[in-house]
Amino acid sequence: MNNTDIKRITPKNITDKEFFYGHKACAGCGGSLAVRLALKVLGERTFAVLPAGCMSAVGFIYPQMAFVNNAIISTFPGAASMASGVSVGAKALGLKDYKTVVFAGDGGTADIGLQALSGAIDRNDDIIYVCYDNEAYMNTGIQKSGLTPYGTKTTTTPAGTNIHGAQNSKKNLFEIMAAHEIAYAATASVGYPQDYIDKINKAKHTKGTSFIHVYAS
């Protein structure tokens, strides 16, 4: 589908319905905003898969469940694999106008979940994968991830006399995804919501695997 064939969604015409609210995320959390906006674009007929991480921790606190649409927690490394299974299962059941999306953090994507994601792209499974990047394992105590910038102070890369913060540069995750010849890959920031909405909308109308790396710090 060409971009000109996709009806643009803007803050003026985006749905008022909420699919992710009442969660326990930190005030001003970029990851929760990324999930909220994405689900508004994707709509109610969306199955969300979340590995261990911030959004699964703050969104599945019984009895105050934050997801209105179907959502499930996967193993830490297996979010893309589970999403692939959901997508294939929906197809086998003959479900139409149905999307499967992953919301995973930087650690669950660039480190622990990279193998499963690579496999999903290789198979061109019909899923949307959103990596909300807050540049560390924030849910478990601010440990360094593969997307933590050089020089950053974390609990595993303290800044002191002998160690001056993170010693490795941030992985170029977009280039890694593009090297797979993926159907669609994009970068975005919650600081520019219209751009992010446009890219989620394009992913919604893309057949095969889509990946969006959204900066959420």
- 147-175: per-residue pLDDT in tens? 999 999 999 999 998 889 999 999 999 99
List the domain range (segments joined by +) for residue 41.
30-215
Q: What is the pLDDT of residue 3?
A: 65
Q: What is the pLDDT of residue 162?
A: 87
Q: What is the pLDDT of residue 64?
A: 83
Domain assignment of residue 12, yes or no = no
- Upper half-sphere CA count for residue 146 (Cβ side, 13 Å): 16
Residue 181 bridge partners (DSSP): none
∠5-100-56 over CA atoms, to 5°? 130
Domain assignment of residue 95, yes or no = yes
Q: Report, as ranges of residue numbers, the positions in the chain whose pLDDT lies below 70.
A: 1-4
Domain assignment of residue 9, yes or no = no
Domain assignment of residue 13, yes or no = no
Q: What is the pLDDT of residue 63?
A: 85
Domain assignment of residue 1, yes or no = no
Q: What is the pLDDT of residue 1?
A: 57
Domain assignment of residue 171, yes or no = yes
Which tokens sit at 78?
């297996």
Can you give the CATH number for the domain in which 134 is found?
3.40.50.970
Domain assignment of residue 118, yes or no = yes
Residue with tokens 């290789």: 122
Overall domain count for the chain:
1
Domain assignment of residue 161, yes or no = yes
The amino acid occupying position 2 is N
Q: How many helices (H) and strands (E) does the chain have?
A: 7, 8
